[in-house]
Amino acid sequence: ISHGIKNGMANSQDEAKKAVESGYWGLYRYNPSLIGTKNPFSLDSKEPKSSFREFLMGEVRYASLAKAFPEAAEALFEKTEKDAMERLANYKRLAEQQ
């Protein structure tokens, strides 16, 4: 079964790290037992420090889309990055609440 990682499944941990570092995937924790005493939401992700687009192109599903439908792919990639940055901003807002 192909998981779509260009460098192969042996590099899946590296790929997950790239997803977090690019802002594609956020790391957070939620502890409902803290409700009423502290904010139960904790954001572990830092500001993205690597290229979102490079991460996408490291995945076969996105690279294939770019090759087959370049114009549509470009629009979708821009929207995907915008959505990911909005999601990260929302996570930050949640983490800052008291």
In DSSP notation, 15-54 reads HHHHHHHHTSS--EEE-GGGTTTS-SEEE------S-HHH
The range of the structural domain enclosing residue 46 comes to 9-96
Q: What's the pLDDT at 2?
A: 58
Q: Residue 2 falls within a domain, yes or no?
A: no
Higher pLDDT, 11 or 58: 58
Question: For residue 12, what pLDDT band results from cuts at 50, 70 and 90?
Answer: confident
Tokens describing residue 90: 């929302």
**Mean pLDDT on 14-25:** 93
Q: Tell me, yes or no, whether 4 lies in a domain.
A: no
**Whole-prediction pTM value?**
0.82
Instruction: Give me the number of domains the chain comprises.
Output: 1
Residue 1 has pLDDT above 60, yes or no: no
| Mean pLDDT of the 9-27 span | 89
